[in-house]
Amino acid sequence: MEQGKEDLKPLSVAYIADMTYKYHAGHYYSRFLRELRDNRLIAGVKCPKCGKVYVPPRIVCRDCFVRMEEFVPVSQEGTLLAFTVTNFHYIDTTTGEPKKIPFTTAFIKLDGADSNIVHRLDETDEKKIKAGMRLRAVFSNNRTGDYFHDIDHFSIVKDM
């Protein structure tokens, strides 16, 4: 079959999905979510061989390949490693609703953790945000076992 210009033109496919979807979070992530919901604790898991702490918890150390079973709390404060401020129309992939813009996504290393997390930062003026800033988790009062809800957002620590 000979390829003409028409073959290179992308096609559009209409697709509307309205479905409720649930999945099992697994034992380790479930424990992480329960600690957030019930105790306002951010839980990690510690490698018995190298001592690295992973947040959220995972079963096997990525460096040592050994099973990790010691759950440890980490700090609710940490350091901002990187961020992006989104200023364009955006659909929340969880709810399907348009997100309120602008919003800031932060890449954070919590004190006591050796891995990093992603969450929302409540400052959207990029002139006021710098990598290396100290951040603190702000929890929702009505927690439900949802990472992006139970930790509502992170705020810049101003009392340093």
Q: Which of 26, 27, 50, 69 binds Zn ion (CB under 5 A)?
A: 50
Tell which residue, 76, 55, 58, has the closest CA to residue 135.
76
CA distance 21 to 78: 32
Residue 55-94 contact track with Zn ion, rule CB under 5 A, x = bound: ------x-xx------------------------------
The nearer residue to Zn ion, 55 or 106, going by C-beta atoms, is 55
Give Cβ neighbours of residue 121 (< 8 Å, ≥ 6 apart): 80, 83, 104, 105, 106, 129, 135, 153, 154, 155, 156
CA distance 158 to 133: 9
The nearer residue to Zn ion, 69 or 92, going by C-beta atoms, is 69
Nearest-approach distance from CB 50 to Zn ion, in angstroms: 3
Residue 28-47 contact track with Zn ion, rule CB under 5 A, x = bound: -------------------x
Alpha helices in 1-142 (DSSP H): 5-8, 27-39
157 near Zn ion (CB under 5 A): no
Q: Which of 49, 91, 101, 131 binds Zn ion (CB under 5 A)?
A: 49
Q: Look up residue 10 and give its DSSP letter.
A: P
Residues that bind Zn ion (CB under 5 A): 47, 49-50, 61, 63-64
